[in-house]
């Protein structure tokens, strides 16, 4: 298992010394901020960044921007999201990234109407039908991230906010190019970490670690909320999880504090 962090909000070049200094072994490059937009990853930058990453012996992955909607109702909009993800997979391959984390998407409409979720899921399937063969060819898996459950009165329906839906999708797409990134904070405000882990552990390449009050997605430093980290980490140890544990926090000091806390819990479990 590796300790990692989500490189946000600064460019990944700014985090290389930080990663080495604090003992991180993996960096997930978040593409949400303007200084990290995909259009800025031209060939010369990719070559230079790859050389610098290899010199640090870090491994890397990408995190697609959160608003990207691979399940969009409108075919033209969804096609643009697919095209963006195709480009991202190619950049990831050129950089030597291990996977690309993506949100599965969302539907908008009256939440009591079952067709809202159904139509969004069909949109996601169409996107995956296009993207999985590309991921297979490039040998850069897509890692779907579980999202939060929203209040019943919300007009947004996030996909994969429950383990049952994730199980069905993984069974439908057995390709090794489709993996999972379990967001422990998101799971906490849904059915809990272990419900998602029981479904996805065989295809999980990474986790996002942050804390909350079990009601709202707050992205707190682990240990300052309600999540039982001893239980989470003991499960990872018992099951021999070989992937990456990424702390997903905004401030650099919080990234370091999260790693130290989680390491202390891990060490308390003994050999």
Q: What pLDDT is attached to residue 35?
A: 87
Q: What pLDDT is attached to residue 114?
A: 81
Q: What pLDDT is attached to residue 111?
A: 65
CA distances from 209 to 13, 183, 186, 227, 244 (A): 22, 7, 9, 10, 10
Q: What are phi and psi of 238, to 5 degrees?
A: -60, -35
CB 54 within 8 A of CB 99: no
CB 119 within 8 A of CB 159: no
Q: What pLDDT is attached to residue 11?
A: 95
Domain that holds residue 233: 2-268
Q: What pLDDT is attached to residue 110?
A: 77
Q: How many residues would you count in the chain?
A: 271
Number of domains in the chain: 1
pLDDT in tens, 137-189: 999 999 999 999 888 788 899 999 999 999 999 999 999 999 999 999 999 99
Walk along the chain (271 residues) and give the pLDDT tens digit of each residue.
Answer: 999 999 999 999 999 999 999 999 999 999 999 989 999 999 999 999 999 999 999 999 999 999 999 999 999 999 999 999 999 999 999 999 999 999 999 999 876 678 999 999 999 999 999 999 999 999 999 999 999 988 878 889 999 999 999 999 999 999 999 999 999 999 999 999 999 999 999 999 999 999 999 999 999 999 999 999 999 999 999 999 999 999 999 999 999 999 999 999 999 998 6
Q: What pLDDT is attached to residue 113?
A: 75
Here the CATH number for the domain that contains residue 233 is 3.20.20.150
**What stretches of 8-148 adopt beta strand conformation (E)?**
26-30, 59-63, 100-102, 106-108, 142-145
């Amino acid at each position: 298992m590796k300790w990692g962090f989500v490189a946000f909000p600064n460019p990944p070049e700014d985090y290389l010394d930080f990663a080495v200094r604090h003992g991180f072994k993996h960096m997930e490059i978040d593409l949400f901020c303007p200084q990290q937009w995909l259009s800025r990853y031209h060939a010369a930058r990719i070559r230079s960044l790859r050389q610098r990453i290899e010199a640090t012996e870090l491994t890397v992955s990408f995190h697609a921007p959160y608003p990207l909607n691979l399940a969009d109702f409108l075919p033209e909009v969804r096609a643009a999201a697919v095209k963006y993800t195709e480009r991202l997979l190619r950049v990831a391959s050129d950089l030597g990234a291990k996977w690309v984390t993506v949100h599965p998407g969302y539907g908008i409409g009256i939440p009591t109407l079952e067709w809202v979720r159904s139509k969004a899921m069909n949109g996601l399937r169409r996107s995956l039908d296009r993207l999985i063969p590309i991921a297979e060819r490039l040998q850069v898996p897509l890692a779907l991230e579980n999202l939060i459950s929203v209040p019943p009165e919300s007009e947004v329906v996030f996909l994969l906010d429950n383990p049952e839906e994730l199980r069905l999708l993984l069974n439908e797409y057995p390709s090794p190019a489709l993996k999972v990134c379990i967001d422990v904070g998101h799971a906490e405000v849904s059915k809990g970490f272990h419900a998602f882990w029981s479904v996805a552990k065989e295809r999980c390449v990474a986790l996002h670690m942050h804390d909350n009050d079990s009601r709202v997605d707050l992205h707190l430093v682990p240990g300052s909320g309600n999540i039982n980290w001893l239980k989470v980490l003991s499960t990872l140890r018992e099951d021999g999880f070989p992937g990456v544990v990424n702390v997903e926090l905004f401030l650099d000091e919080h990234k370091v504090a999260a790693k130290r806390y989680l390491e202390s819990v891990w060490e308390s479990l003994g050999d």
